[in-house]
Amino acid sequence: MAMREFRMPDVGEGLTEADILTWYVKPGDPVTDGQVVCEIETAKAVVELPVPFEGVVREIRFPERATVPVGAVIISVDASGGDAVEPAPEPARQPVLVGYGVSDSPVVRRPRKPSAGGRPSAGPGGVARGTGPRPLAKPPVRKLARDLGVDLSVVRPSGGGSTITREDVHAASVLDLGSRAASVAVGEPAVGPTPTVSPDPRETRVPVKGVRKATAAAMVGSAFTAPHVTEFVTVDVTRTVKLVEDLRSDADMAGLRVGPLLVVAKAVLVAIKRHPEINSAWDEGTDGQAGIVRKHFVNLGVAAATPRGLIVPNIKDAHTRTLPELAAALGELVGTARAGGTSPAAMRDGTFTVTNIGVFGVDTGTPILNPGESAILAVGAIKARPWVHKGKVRPRQVMSLALSFDHRVIDGELGSRFLADVAAVLENPKRLITWA
């Protein structure tokens, strides 16, 4: 028997662990080279893992929802060409090769429901499985189903389509809660996921994992490492709002995502061109000699709220993009993030970040730097306000901007000039042409 072992890879830079979300195979299943065998969640993204060899699955080392260290064996495959076998009883966890080390008690998320009412039973290693092909659902919907303890293989898509939606999952969860309540009413024990509760029954403790855990650590590190300074400016953006309306009807922008954020992004790129020192990073150095790294490219990060938490993917070489190209890149970035498909590579090597808090109706804030960067711009909501325009008080479209920067890299003058330039472009977007 030629046994091959597949280890948890590092799918990001320096990640030490990942959570197994879903197994797509079970012991006895044949697999081919490149076949996706499981879905994992790291601190940066949800990723599907393909197995790098073919054969028959013999053992699954970790159940779904287990937190597994990078380097640990997660699945073993008989590559000798033997026949598929019936699943064996749940195996005990086996030690991995010396040098990686696995804790005796991996952190395990809320378990799936045991078989009841026609639900699929759990396979080896606690792997829940149903019959038939894998149900169609986007990653955020799969995560919602896992959190609610809903088995997607028994959820019927609504609306005549074949893809399961969030509404379908919620509906299945409500039905399941009703059936469990009926069971309790007739004296049968209730089954299902058990939330982690505090001594106070009015509270529920939610473990911090994945993106939320990574974000918390990164923000604490950033806030207490880089000396933050935040400056604010309020600007009349009536002309920018008019420009956005015109762009939406422009044939060259047809089918593209066009909004105020697009003009803000372009204004930031113009201001960085005028003040390239803003696009820098502090480097402690490996020999104890600190330095400032000037970036001669702009990977523009855009903070995106997703079902997994806040992430900051970036548009690579944004400074080289035309306005239509920038609009297309923004649309793809936001769409991919909302679908839960942002890759770790898309979040690496950012140089400057824009966070659009205005979409929540918020006027302004004090953003914290994205680690590895020296400046971040918070964009507030656009609101009609009384404003002095051409000597008279008129209703105008007004926005507030907040720039936080690392005072080790950027002094007050540079930060102020940069912020003033961004505001000047938004006040008079013709400067996109004259300053470009």
Q: Are residues 221 and 344 in the same domain?
A: yes
Domain residue limits at 97:
1-129
Does a structural domain hold residue 202? no
Query: At residue 238, does pLDDT exceed 90?
Result: yes
Asked if residue 332 has pLDDT above 80, the reply is yes
Q: Hey, how many other C-beta atoms are within 10 angstroms of the C-beta on 43?
A: 23
- The answer to whether residues 76 and 59 touch, using CB atoms and an 8 Å cutoff, is yes
| Residue 230 resides in a domain | yes
> Helix count (H) and strand count (E) of the chain?
8, 23
**Does one domain contain both 40 and 51?**
yes
pLDDT digits (tens, 9 = 90+) for 383-421: 999 999 999 999 999 999 999 999 999 999 999 999 999
Pairing mode, if any, of strands 352-356 and 36-41?
unpaired
204 inside domain:
no
Over residues 259-265, mean pLDDT:
97
pLDDT at 61: 94
Question: Is the predicted pLDDT of residue 209 greater than 80, yes or no?
Answer: no
Are 235 and 291 in a shared domain?
yes
Round to whole Å and give the CA distance between 31 and 72: 20
What mean pLDDT do residues 189-217 have? 64
Which tokens sit at 400? 């507030």
Mean residue pLDDT across the chain: 79
Residue that the structure tokens 């209703």 belong to: 395
Gap between the Cα atoms of 73 and 98, Å rounded: 11
Between CA 283 and CA 262 the distance in angstroms is 31
- Does 370 map to a domain? yes
CA–CA separation, 120 vs 299, rounded Å? 46
How high is the pLDDT of residue 388? 96
pLDDT confidence band for 354 (50 / 70 / 90): very high
pLDDT at residue 363 tops 80: yes
Which pLDDT does position 1 carry in this prediction? 62
CA distance 23 to 30: 14
Question: Which strands form 73-78's sheet, in the order they lie side by side?
Answer: 3-7, 73-78, 55-60, 30-31
Over the stretch 81-94, which tens digit does the pLDDT of each residue have? 655 444 534 333 33
pLDDT tens for 140-188 read 677 667 766 677 777 877 765 677 876 677 666 544 444 443 333 334 3
The token duo for 225 is 């490492």
Q: What's 396's domain CATH number?
A: 3.30.559.10
* Of 275, 296, 389, 407, catalytic: 407
Nearest to 110 by CA among 157, 80, 77, 143: 143
**Averaged over 352-362, what is the pLDDT?**
95
CATH of the domain at 103: 2.40.50.100
Q: Judging by DSSP bridges, how do beta strands 228-236 and 392-406 pair with one another? A: antiparallel
Residues 269-314: pLDDT tens digits?
Answer: 999 999 999 999 998 877 778 899 999 999 999 998 877 778 899 9
Question: According to the model, what pLDDT value does residue 105 have?
Answer: 38
Token digits of residue 301: 């990060």
CA distance 332 to 335: 5
Q: How many CA atoms lie within 13 A of 421 on its CB side?
A: 23
319 tagged catalytic: no
Q: Supply the DSSP symbol for 353.
A: E
User: Would you state the structure tokens that stand for residue 239, as one six-digit string?
Assistant: 């002309």
Q: Is residue 56 part of a domain?
A: yes
Instruction: Give the number of domains in the chain.
Output: 3
Q: In Å, how far are 226, 305, 355, 356, 422 from 360, measured between CA atoms?
A: 27, 11, 11, 8, 21
Same-domain status, 114 and 58:
yes
For the chain, the C-alpha Rg in angstroms (whole number) is 26
Residue 122 reports pLDDT greater than 50: no
92 and 179 belong to one structural domain: no
- Residues 226, 352 within the same domain: yes
Question: Would you state the structure tokens that stand for residue 399, as one six-digit string?
Answer: 């926005």
Mind listing the pLDDT tens digit for each residue in 23-76? 999 999 999 998 999 988 876 677 889 998 899 999 999 999 888 998 999 999
Which residues share a beta bridge with 40?
A: 20, 47
CB 313 within 8 A of CB 304: yes
What percent of the chain has pLDDT above 70? 75
Do 227 and 318 reside in the same domain of the chain? yes
Query: What letter does residue 348 receive in the DSSP assignment?
Result: S
Residues 89 and 144 in one domain: no
3-class SS of residue 356: strand
